[in-house]
Structure 1
Amino acid sequence: MKVLKSAMCVALIAISTLASPARAGRLETQFEVYLDVVASCSLVSATDVAFGSQVVAPGQQLEAFGSLKVRCNVPVAYQITLDQGLHGTGVNDRRMAGPGGDTIAYQLYSGDSGTTSCNDAAGVQWGNATTGCIYGDSYAGTEQDIQIHGKLTMGNPRAGSYSDTITATITY
């Protein structure tokens, strides 16, 4: 009898399992969709500040203009610093070197554009945070042309070619 009861239980369980609808499970998970947009700015080109060939007299003032072209890929604020050059002792003492060790002092300013301009009206030369003005602006959707304004007052140098090299650095 016990065997028969056991067989009947097994048969009933098998029949009830077959007759019951299968239960579906449900699981959920989540995931993110993201993109990291990276800002990139570059100094595309530079135009020299060329005072040219001049017949000068002591005390004569000269001006010359150059430019930096900046391009950024997305809206971003940036700053541009200029170093002291190869022959000066600081951004407020930039010098072009020439024949016989002679030098000619000059100053560099930005134009009036930008969120922070380093113009000569303020009397602060374009340089760095410690000793001069840092030019600042924001991406405007197109390549930007930033004016470099050079000024000098002639001393009594020897005739010859004078030059210096400035390094511009952009930070964004």
Structure 2
Amino acid sequence: MALPIRLCPILIGAAALGAAHTPAEARENAADLQVNVAIVDGCTVTTTDVAFGLIIGTRGTLRSTGTVDVQCTANLDFAISMDRGQHSRGINRRMRNATSGAYMRYNLYSDPAYSRRWTDQRAGQVRGNSGATGSIAFPVYGELTFDGSAVTGRYEDSVTVTVEF
């Protein structure tokens, strides 16, 4: 059966249009991207200062608190120790007045009864476990007894806090 002449240009145009939209042969190349992480046991430690404030008077005892914040891998056992500070003498911690060179004795404790000194010796360490969250805060209890003989001025010390895990 022959097509009428009027339909031939339409069919030829449709065939050409179909050929123009035929997708070209697609090519591809692939590579794998590896994503990984290694979690190791570890801890970081931060602190807030033990600040006794101002002394007005001649004798007395001041108490103040700070904190040791430990962030570890979950469920990790650790021990926290503190050295005696920059200005210690023997077992005594001391703050120093940079202007006069005078000292004031103080101590740091791990309990609110002020009975357990926080030291760098095994008996003076605080032990813990980071638990499921990996984060725990420990209070530091500071005590300063003054007898009225201290020279006026600012007294300071720096204590190194160490976390062993």
SS in 2 for 1:100: coil
Give CA deviations for 1:72-101 in whole Å, capped at 9, x if unaligned. Answer: 1221110011011111124x3000001422
1:167 and 1:149 mapped to 2: Cα distance? Answer: 15
SS in 1 for 2:100: helix
Q: In structure 2, what is the equivalent of residue 68 of structure 1?
A: 68
Q: Report deviation, 1:106.
A: 0.2
Is the contact made by 1:40 and 1:74 (CA closer than 8 Å) also made in structure 2? no
Is the contact made by 1:56 and 1:154 (CA closer than 8 Å) also made in structure 2? no
Aligned counterpart in structure 1 of residue 127 of structure 2, from 114, 124, 136: 136
Is residue 47 of structure 2 the alignment partner of residue 46 of structure 1?
yes
1:94 maps to a residue whose letter is: R
Give CA deviations for 1:89-133 in whole Å, capped at 9, x if unaligned. Answer: 24x300000142210000101136xxxxxx623xx4101226x50
2:159 and 2:69 mapped to 1: Cα distance? Answer: 15
Percent identity between the two aligned chains: 28
Is the contact made by 1:111 and 1:146 (CA closer than 8 Å) also made in structure 2? no
Is the contact made by 1:103 and 1:162 (CA closer than 8 Å) also made in structure 2? yes
1:56 and 1:77 mapped to 2: Cα distance? Answer: 44
1:81 and 1:37 mapped to 2: Cα distance? Answer: 25
1:83 and 1:158 mapped to 2: Cα distance? Answer: 26
Q: TM-score, normalised by structure 1?
A: 0.67
Q: Report deviation, 1:152.
A: 1.3
For structure 1, the residue ranges without an aligned partner over 5 or more in a row are 1-35, 113-118
1:81 and 1:56 mapped to 2: Cα distance? Answer: 33
Is residue 156 of structure 2 the alignment partner of residue 163 of structure 1?
yes
SS in 1 for 2:132: coil
Is residue 127 of structure 2 the alignment partner of residue 145 of structure 1?
no
For structure 2, the residue ranges without an aligned partner over 5 or more in a row are 1-37
1:53 and 1:61 mapped to 2: Cα distance? Answer: 12
Q: Report deviation, 1:63.
A: 0.2
Is the contact made by 2:84 and 2:120 (CA closer than 8 Å) also made in structure 1? no
Q: In structure 2, what is the equivalent of residue 120 of structure 1?
A: 114
Runs of 4+ that moved beyond 4 A: none
Q: In structure 2, what is the equivalent of residue 6 of structure 1?
A: none
1:170 maps to a residue whose letter is: V
1:133 and 1:100 mapped to 2: Cα distance? Answer: 32
Q: Report deviation, 1:37.
A: 5.7
Q: In structure 1, what is the equivalent of residue 15 of structure 2?
A: none
Q: Report deviation, 1:56.
A: 2.8
